[in-house]
A and B are shown apart, each in its own frame.
Chain A
Amino acid sequence: MKKSTKVTLTVVAAVGLASCGRSRRDPCEQGSFNEMACQDATRSGGYYYGGSWYPMMYRYPYPYYYDHYRTHVSNGGRVVSAPAGSYARPGGAASSPGVTHGGFGSIGAGHGAGE
């Protein structure tokens, strides 16, 4: 009665796979590096890709990933860029006049809200 028997995963499994670089393109991965998007991602703890938000845990600050990328390139490594606009925030740039953002989240800024 207490046994769980029907655990199936869709998004969660994709998150795990993606963290290994097999699905969407992490902007901080050396093979898909994107300078601006990686800076945003390390600062925000995640990134948008194709309009969806992907939370990530980056263990190091941005320069670490940049250095890895540079080393990768100088060793002849290939970089496959994501299509233009892939990392854009949905609706962010085109937000309608009269719409304000940022009215929630100020107290929790910089740390988690779960417990």
Chain B
Amino acid sequence: MRRIAATPRPDWQKKVEEKGLTWHTGEQPYWNEAAFYEFTAKEVDVLETATNELEKMTLQAAQHVIDNKLYARLAIPEMAVPLIESSWEAEPPSLYGRFDLAFDGVNPPKLLEYNADTPTGLLEAAVVQWYWLQDCFPKRDQFNSLHERLVALWKELAQYLPGRRIDFCSMDDAEDGMTVTYLQDTAQQAGLQASIFPIDEIGWDGNTFLGPDDRPLGTVFKLYPWEWMVREEFGKHIGAAETTWMEPPWKMLLSNKGILPILWQLFPRHPYLLEASFDGPGLMMAWAKKPILGREGANILLHQPGKDVETGGDYGEDGFIFQQMATLKSFDGMYPVIGSWLIGHEEGNAAGGMGLRESDTPITTNTSLFVPHLFD
């Protein structure tokens, strides 16, 4: 695994915009092709194997939470429990997820967290970096079959979607909008009817959730976290309505940082896991304190002897977990985190590709840069 400096394509902004990445530059470029990461095929195999193994482990952890009613430990409100349990039994459609992994090319990947419910950055990983590869290194390869897998999965799911239709909704936000617009595209390529609208335009008529045009909603992909949905005004209607939601409610268990200590309890010293605890750092020398329901690197405290680094934010009122600090290797002063994507949940065959984000600190936040990759 190497980080290699590169000269960006002269008109890279136009090229990425043409692929749908309409937000590519903030205070600095978010899409960064002034460098790329190079992997060996063996390293990609390691990441793929780890992703499939972690998928299996997290499903076992979800079953453990349900069997032992550990909902309070995860700050999940009681009213959400029937939603979780019924969706776990019924197995409604589930599309995707993303493991964030620390990896240095030498040691086994370590799970930092699992974005199981509302992962973004998909367009960059599935499409934009793929076209970058075609332009710059057409004879090289990339760990990326995300697009084909998404289209194929929608085709499989079509039979379960009333009217072969899916509606997408998200917040009025550029990054979220890009993700759902891309997913809408993949659904349409699979032959589904699809529309997209802001989540606050969902209506309720006393029995049924409705779209902005007052059409009953059969299946909705919502890029909006379950822990917020169940606490909002319409949350109390979810169980009574016939609308099927993607991702399903049971993903609430896995997008929760509390799943990390539960994984550690179930699989102690597993090579893909970092020690984690609900009760404090114990004997850990260097650790991260993360809000159970935190998002995008907010309210994280990284502790090393003699040195603390903390991020701001509004999360933490539901409690924290403590996780052994991963030893992120610095590549040219940058710390990469691998976002390893799952498409579907087919055992042993869910890993679909990866995207890398890097920061000049060991905490990945919403300002971290997306950097393309390739392998031989």
The reply to whether chain A is a binding partner of chain B is: yes
Residue ranges of A at the interface with B (Cβ–Cβ < 8 Å):
2-13, 15-17, 19-20, 44-46, 51-53, 55-57, 89-92, 94-96, 98-109, 111-115
- Residues in B with CB closer than 8 Å to A101 are 200-204, 212
Give B204 Cβ to nearest chain A Cβ, in Å: 5
Give A6 Cβ to nearest chain B Cβ, in Å: 5
Check if A105 sits within 8 Å of B199, measured CB to CB.
Answer: yes
A91 partner, pick from B44, B146, B147, B212, beta carbons under 8 A: B212
- 326-376 of chain B: CB within 8 A of chain A: 353, 366, 375
With A9-B185, A55-B181 already in contact, the answer to whether A19 and B17 are too (CB < 8 A) is yes
The tally of residues in B whose CB lies under 8 Å from a CB in A reads 81
Give A12 Cβ to nearest chain B Cβ, in Å: 3
Whether, in the assembled complex, B247 has its beta carbon less than 8 Å from a beta carbon of chain A, the answer is: no
Check if A11 sits within 8 Å of B181, measured CB to CB.
Answer: yes
Check if B171 sits within 8 Å of A112, measured CB to CB.
Answer: yes
Whether, in the assembled complex, B29 has its beta carbon less than 8 Å from a beta carbon of chain A, the answer is: no
Check if A3 sits within 8 Å of B145, measured CB to CB.
Answer: yes
With A45-B172, A55-B172, A99-B210 already in contact, the answer to whether A114 and B179 are too (CB < 8 A) is yes
Give B360 Cβ to nearest chain A Cβ, in Å: 20
With A16-B22, A98-B206, A113-B228 already in contact, the answer to whether A55 and B177 are too (CB < 8 A) is yes
- Residues in B with CB closer than 8 Å to A108 are 171, 199, 224-225, 228
Check if A103 sits within 8 Å of B225, measured CB to CB.
Answer: no
Check if A46 sits within 8 Å of B172, measured CB to CB.
Answer: yes
With A45-B177, A114-B118 already in contact, the answer to whether A12 and B182 are too (CB < 8 A) is yes
Q: Which of A9, A13, A94, A99 has the most CB of B within 10 A?
A: A9
- Residues in B with CB closer than 8 Å to A19 are 17, 22
- Residues in A with CB closer than 8 Å to B119 are 114-115
- Residues in B with CB closer than 8 Å to A10 are 185, 188-189
Check if B232 sits within 8 Å of A99, measured CB to CB.
Answer: no
B174 partner, pick from A52, A56, A113, beta carbons under 8 A: A56
Check if B17 sits within 8 Å of A104, measured CB to CB.
Answer: no
Give A67 Cβ to nearest chain B Cβ, in Å: 22
With A114-B119, A115-B119 already in contact, the answer to whether A95 and B20 are too (CB < 8 A) is no
Check if B232 sits within 8 Å of A8, measured CB to CB.
Answer: no
Cα(A109)–Cα(B232), bound, Å:
12
By beta carbon, the residue of chain B nearest A20 is B17
Check if B211 sits within 8 Å of A91, measured CB to CB.
Answer: yes
Residue ranges of B at the interface with A (Cβ–Cβ < 8 Å):
14, 16-23, 44, 48, 115, 118-121, 123, 126-127, 130-131, 141-148, 170-182, 184-185, 188-189, 195-206, 210-215, 222-225, 228-229, 231-235, 237, 295-296, 353, 366, 375
Check if A46 sits within 8 Å of B200, measured CB to CB.
Answer: no
Check if A105 sits within 8 Å of B224, measured CB to CB.
Answer: yes
Check if B142 sits within 8 Å of A104, measured CB to CB.
Answer: no
With A56-B174, A102-B200, A112-B175 already in contact, the answer to whether A95 and B228 are too (CB < 8 A) is no
Cα(A96)–Cα(B208), bound, Å:
13
- Residues in B with CB closer than 8 Å to A12 are 19-20, 123, 127, 181-182, 185
- Residues in B with CB closer than 8 Å to A6 are 147-148
- Residues in B with CB closer than 8 Å to A114 are 118-121, 170, 173, 175-176, 179, 223
Cα(A21)–Cα(B147), bound, Å:
26
Check if A95 sits within 8 Å of B145, measured CB to CB.
Answer: no
- Residues in B with CB closer than 8 Å to A100 are 203-204
Cα(A107)–Cα(B226), bound, Å:
11
B177 partner, pick from A46, A91, A111, beta carbons under 8 A: A46
Check if A99 sits within 8 Å of B120, measured CB to CB.
Answer: no
Cα(A68)–Cα(B145), bound, Å:
43
- Residues in B with CB closer than 8 Å to A107 are 228, 231-232
Cα(A108)–Cα(B181), bound, Å:
19
Check if A106 sits within 8 Å of B184, measured CB to CB.
Answer: no
Give A99 Cβ to nearest chain B Cβ, in Å: 4
Check if A104 sits within 8 Å of B185, measured CB to CB.
Answer: no
Check if A57 sits within 8 Å of B174, measured CB to CB.
Answer: yes
Cα(A55)–Cα(B229), bound, Å:
21
Check if A57 sits within 8 Å of B213, measured CB to CB.
Answer: no
